[in-house]
Structure 1
Amino acid sequence: MYFGQKDKPQPNAQQQQSTQVTPQKTEEVIPDSVKQQQLKAAYGELANLASGEAKDVVAENKDIKVTFSSKGGKIKSVLLKHYLTDQKKPLYLLDEANSNISLLAASKTGNLDLSTLFYQAETQKSGDTTKVIFKATLSPGNAISQTYSIAPEGYLVNYDLKFDGMTGILQNQPVVFDWKADAPKVEYDLKQSRITTSVNYYTVKEGFDHLNETSNDPESTTLSEPIKWVSMKQKFFNAGFIAENEFSNGTVKSHVNQGDTASLKHLEASVTLPYNDLTSGKGKYKFYFGPNHYQTLRAVPAPDYDKNVYLGWPVINLINRFIVIPVFNFFETFIGNYGVIIIILVFLLKAILFPLSYKSYISMAKMKVLKPEIDEIKERNGDDMQKVQAEQMQLYQKVGINPLSGCIPVLLQTPILLAMFNFFPNSIELRQEPFLWANDLSTYDSIFSWNTHIWGLSDTYGNHFSLFTFLMTLSTLLLTWVNNQVSTVTGPMKSVSYIMPVVFMFVLNSFPAGLSFYYLVSNLVSIGQQYIIKGFVDENKIRAVLDENRKKYATTGGKKSKWMQRVEEAMKAREEEIKKKKK
């Protein structure tokens, strides 16, 4: 650069780049006249009801808060007042983000969604009942009315749907109530919540049924017969639609979106409402939005609606319904700690079952006294199991022992254990109830966890350590050892008795802490009972009684019991069968 030469101004970076101006898209303004023509084409005579301003209407009672929208005259959201999510946030069982209800009717212009119309809203008080009335009036005497009624308490919302003077406007065909929802995740354990979420339903012919809960594949069922109710059921809550008369037919569907951790499953329930019911004032229905609490569901006026709570197979179900639940509910009226209630429940059941436990122990003690003679029989006959069994039966007959007498008391107690296995995982009473180190007795207690997937362990045991389950396993092993001090079981069966508790530790690690705690306390009480009974049992006296029975048998020849007669007949039949095969 020479002295006195002026620098040429250098273009900046923005000036160096060529600038392209992209024309902005402007929204096409549709004249009102064209809009009206479009609405007329889509809605026909109902075109004037297809535009308007959506307004919210809120109605609530002691238990729920329901928000309605004047667009569609439908439920927009439902808040359960007494429950929170696992994140301690308000629990909305239904909201417009995850649920949509359509009312599909046939009209002159084709299928019409009545939930896209705009309704006039009115709130009324009828005694203690709140009524929200949505009315879409075409002209005097021609209207669609939707009336919702909410009692002062409870989880039911009565719903009346009525067509007045719509016969010439809507075709005389069933109206389809189409409900689609993404069941929201409101519990800590996503996996367990998913495999307990499904669509339940009740048909007039077949009764209660449901889609496969545990499947990750899309599920679908067409119901060609009349239906009383459908329910979108989660682990502890459900949203149901109930007919006072019947739905004509319907379809239910479910599928899992594995990538969506905010929802459990996508659920669908589509049912048809008879047109004549809607024109004659018989279009009466109910919504249920609430907990899967057995006593609450029992009060719902719908057949078998309480089956939204799974309580086990028929016999197990009866034990839970008429013994476990009433006792549990009785104690919770004056005891606020559910861990304490579980302890009391264990002691109560153990006291009731004590005579069976005592009888089982005495039977094992008798077998222990006879063990030397049984071992001698086995040694004398070697591998000839038929002779071993025959001589054992003869020995039992001489001393007056029924070898099954020790098994029967145990078998009679098994239904109680199975009842608890079904009660605790489905008991909403335990939801978010803490005890000791467990924050929530309705899910597993985890004192530590890890994110790394460990091959062979994560898929069978899980990525967490449940202390209650571990302690339950230790107590089961201890109880097994105590029982084996009396039992005559030897060989592989004895080894299995120690292996099974470890297997169950893997199975129950992700089960509710309340269940593991129940089994833990039950094991500890059983161990205490065994030592108490042992203190009152004298093996020398048992041996003396058996010897006395042996003498009586030798003197009188003994009278065979019916059970022994049947055993001998079975053994003789077996011998004949073996002889025929040898020939």
Structure 2
Amino acid sequence: MDRNQATGLILFAAVILVYSYFFASTPEIPEAETASATQTESVQSNAASQPPLAETVSENDSTLDAARLAKYGALATLTVGEEETLTLENDLIQVEISSKGAQVKKVILKEYKSWKMEPLELINAESSNMDFIIESKSGPLNLGDLYFSPSVESSQNEDGVSIQTLTLQAGTESGQIIHTFTLADGSYQVHKSFEVDRFQGVFTGNALALNWEDQVIAQESNLAESRRQAQLNYYTTSGSFDNLGAGNDLETETIAEPVKWVGFSQRFFTAAMIADTEFQSVSITQSTPEADSTIVRNMATSLSIPLQDGKAGFTFYFGPDQYNTLKKVTDGFEDNVDMGYFFVSWVNKYIIVNLFAFLEKFFTNYGVIIIIIVFLIKLALFPLTYKSYIGMAKMRVIKPEIDELKEKYGDDATKMQQEQMKLFSKLGVSPISGCLPMVLQMPFLFAMFFFFPNAIELRQESFLWANDLSTYDVFFKLPFTIPFYGSHVSMFTLLMTVSQIIYTHFNNQLTTATGPMKNLGYIMPVMFMFILNSYPAGLSFYYFVSNMVTFGQQALIKLFVDDEKIRAKVEESKAKNVNKKKSKFQQKLEDAMKAADNSKKK
């Protein structure tokens, strides 16, 4: 070795020593093993007196393990790992689940799009958070801190339906914690089971606590209508349905009895939890972030899931608010769709929903479906429409007799009523014969007021100039806002108003209504024009078609039944009832009227 080679080797060794001393870094400690702030400060303050590097790292690891052991006990080794995202999906939904905590992170409904025509994420990691907590010897344990090993299997049930099962396990020699998610084809339901196997003396609680907070993502362009329809619903094990209502203020409620399911329901979609047995100690909260247009409402629930032999189970529902779909989920779950008050809800539940489902098999245009539904309902109610027309016509043809009574007994109201009753009985006319059939049709009229705003079938379905029948149609925008009306003109609502005014004018020719009652028929359509301008276009279109069909029915009846024929029937009844005795009901009514009149005079 010559002098130059020796010099080179010496310089090379010097460079290596300098680099090792000044630039080489210590081994990185995983984030999960980082010491607490207090421990870090302690290490830094005593840095000068520390032993060599290898011994320092060993001592820090020992300290971290001690801190982790203090917090997690026998489960400390399960708090270190790498997060992995697993996917369960079928033809309807895609569910992403994290191996850290076995938490549902995202749900996508494949058949639907948001109003921006983007994939519809019902929940995601930013909007929803679920914390499952169980009591342990070391204190409350958040299962979200543990890492699980996943495995996915596919199988078929007895009916040949494909089922995906995701199993997430974490454990030591002392035992296992197992989460199992199951999703079948053609289903919006994800069943989750939880099991603690062994771990003797580690877990001290007999229930699994859940805290679920969800910022309900806005999926519709009409945020005001979405917030009006959004509700936090629940159903008790005793069979009682209730909710927090649709107000914007902060609302909180603690439910005294066990609960079967809790649902975060917006206008057309619901994210819910359904107990295998029951949920206990349930409290619910909701509020509205009025300044945030991306969020419909903040909803939250905390509840307790009883553990039986270390096992618990419940079902997630992530799907549409479609009445027939919800009805198959569990008891009372269909109440997430508001079908109206009890005196009109039967029309929607048993007639309109099934009629819609039937017509969908043959027609794809929902405007055409609405027209067909109007014709079918009007055809079924035609006997009532006919009786209503005949009743009003009879009152019209006997108007001269009524006017005579008014001239004769106009100053004596009681006597006037008594003589009118005699006249009606004699002529075979009932004063309510024209009104009663109309009243019997009212449930169908009001049922639509609840059905169309909640009909997911109309969502993003176009017809004529309306791009979406589930929201208002904008025929043109106004450069200003009219109070109680808005800044747009809905053409379907305008057509409904005009048709109602025309129908009212025609109807007034058939009745004996005068004064305020006659003018009320013109005022009501204008009022509804303001109310329905921001309601779904499908609703206004239904009322418009209904008005036109009713108008056509009455015009058709008028062609075959004229006033002369009605008058002939009245005269025929008059001849038959010349010697007719008063009925017991009529006599009692007259006696009651006389008694009231005498009491008034005294």
Q: Same fold (TM over 0.5)?
A: yes
Q: 2:403 aligns with which of 370, 375, 379?
A: 375
Q: Distance in 1 between matches of 2:175 and 2:417?
A: 86
Match of 1:408?
A: 436
Amino acid at match of 2:416: V
Residue 8 (structure 1) aligns with = none
Corresponding residue of 1:95:
124
Q: Is the 8 A contact 2:150 2:166 kept in 1?
A: yes
Letter in 1 for 2:354: P
Contact 1:319 / 1:416 at 8 angstroms: preserved in 2?
yes
1:550 to 561, 566, 574: 574
Deviations 1:129-183 (A, max 9, x none): 111111121x235121110011122101011011111351121242211110000
Aligned counterpart in structure 2 of residue 307 of structure 1, from 328, 331, 335? 335
Aligned pairs for 1:227-246 (under 5 A) are 227-246=259-278
1:161, 1:278 within 8 Å by CA — same for their partners in 2?
no
1:67 maps to a residue whose letter is E
What are the superposed Cα offsets for residues 539-573 of structure 1, whole Å, 9 maximum, x if unpaired? 1122122223223333x2x1335653454244234
Query: Which residue number in structure 2 is paired with residue 538 of structure 1?
Result: 562
Give SS of 1:249's match. Answer: strand
Spell out, residue by residue over 1:190-226, the C-alpha distance to the aligned partner (whole angstroms, 9 max, x if none). Answer: 001011112111112351111112x111111101211
Choose which of 264, 267, 273 in structure 1 pairs with 2:296. 264
Pick from 456, 473, 485 the counterpart of residue 445 of structure 1: 473
State the identity as a percent: 45
State the partner residue of 1:564: 586
Q: Distance in 2 between matches of 1:569 and 1:519?
A: 45
| Alignment partner, residue 599 of structure 2 | 577
Change (3 A) 1:131 1:220: same
What is the SS of the residue equivalent to 1:347?
A: helix
**How high is the TM-score relative to the length of structure 2?**
0.87
2:184 counterpart (151, 172, 176): 151
Quickly say closer, same or farther: Cα 1:448–1:36, change in 2 above 3 A.
farther
* Aligned partner letter, 2:176: A
User: What residue in structure 2 maps to residue 3 of structure 1?
Assistant: none
Q: After the TM superposition, which of the residue ranges 363-372 and 37-46 deviates more from structure 2?
A: 37-46
1:212 is paired with a residue of what secondary structure? coil
Which letter does structure 2 place at the counterpart of 1:374?
A: I
- Tell me how far apart the structure 2 counterparts of residues 371 and 210 of structure 1 sit (CA, whole Å): 53
Aligned equivalent of 2:367: 339
Aligned to 1:186: 219
**More divergent stretch after superposition (88-97 vs 34-43):** 34-43
1:136 to 142, 146, 170: 170
Equivalent residues of 2:448, 2:539 under 8 A apart: yes
- Displacement after TM superposition at 1:278 (Å): 5.8
Change (3 A) 1:305 1:368: same
Residues 1:146 and 1:380: Cα distance change in structure 2 (over 3 Å) = same
Query: Distance in 2 between the 1:503 and 1:205 partners?
Result: 42
Is contact 2:414-2:594 (8 Å) kept? Answer: no
Deviation at 1:313, TM superposition (A): 1.7
Q: Secondary structure at the match of 1:446?
A: coil
Structure 2 counterpart of 1:134, which letter? L
Q: Which residue of 2 aligns with 1:7?
A: none
Residues 213-271 of structure 1 show CA distances to partners (whole Å, capped at 9, x for unaligned) of 2x111111101211111111011000111111111231111001111110011000211
2: CA distance, partners of 1:111 / 1:195: 38
Q: What is aligned with 1:50?
A: 79
1:248 is paired with a residue of what secondary structure? strand
1:403/1:135 CA distance change after superposition, 3 Å: same
Query: How many angstroms apart in 2 are the aligned matches of 1:573 and 1:140?
Result: 93
SS of 2:261's equivalent? strand
d(CA) in 1 for partners of 2:423, 2:529: 40
Contact 1:397 1:564 in 2 (8 A): no
- Give distance in 2, aligned partners of 1:144 and 1:327: 49
Q: Matched residues in 2 for 1:512 and 1:243: separation?
A: 35
Q: Which amino acid aligns with 1:577?
A: S
Match of 2:382? 354
Q: Which residue of 2 aligns with 1:15?
A: none
Report the secondary structure of 1:86's partner residue. Answer: coil
Aligned to 2:553: 529
Question: Contact (CA 8 Å) 2:478, 2:489: kept in 1 or not?
Answer: no
> For residues 333 and 559 of structure 1, what CA distance do their matches in structure 2 show?
58
- Asked if the contact 1:199–1:269 (Cα under 8 Å) also holds between the matched residues in 2, the reply is no
Q: Cα–Cα, structure 1 residues 132 and 451, in superposed 2: closer, same or farther, change >3 Å?
A: farther
116 and 378 in structure 1: CA distance in 2 versus 1, 3 angstrom threshold: farther
- Give yes or no for contact 2:239–2:332 (8 Å, CA) kept in 1: no
Query: How far off its partner does 1:450 sit?
Result: 4.3
Alignment partners' CA distance in 2, 1:132 and 1:201: 28
Aligned letter for 1:560?
A: K
Provide the rounded CA distance (Å) in 1 between the counterparts of 2:343 and 2:96.
Answer: 42
Which whole-Å CA distance do the structure 2 matches of 1:181 and 1:535 have between them? 61
User: Are 2:313 and 1:284 equivalent residues in the alignment?
Assistant: yes
**Pair 432,572 (structure 1): closer, same or farther in 2 beyond 3 Å:** same
Task: Identify unmatched segments of 5+ residues in structure 1.
Answer: 1-26
Which residue of structure 2 aligns with residue 68 of structure 1?
Answer: 97
Residue identity in the other structure for 1:323: I
Partner AA of 2:600 in structure 1 = I
Q: Does 1:217 align with 2:241?
A: no
1:36 to 39, 59, 65: 65
Q: Does 1:510 align with 2:534?
A: yes
For residues 383 and 33 of structure 1, the distance between their equivalents in structure 2, rounded to whole angstroms, comes to 106
Quick check: 2:392–2:433 contact (8 Å CA) kept in 1?
A: no
Aligned mate of 1:161, from 181, 194, 213: 194
1:519, distance to aligned residue in structure 2 (A): 0.4
SS at match of 2:504: helix
Q: CA deviation at 1:422?
A: 1.2
Alignment of structure 1 residues 393-432 onto 2, 5 Å: 393-432=421-460
With the length of structure 1 as denominator, give the TM-score of the two structures: 0.90
**1:321 equivalent among 349, 356, 359:** 349
**Structure 2 CA distance for aligned equivalents of residues 145 and 287 of structure 1:** 17
Question: Is the radius of gyration larger for structure 1 or structure 2?
Answer: 2
Q: How many angstroms apart in 2 are the aligned matches of 1:374 and 1:484?
A: 18
Distance (whole Å) between structure 1 residues aligned to residue 300 and residue 197 of structure 2: 29
Q: Which amino acid aligns with 2:372?
A: I
1:438 partner letter:
A
Alpha-carbon distance, 1:410 to partner: 0.5
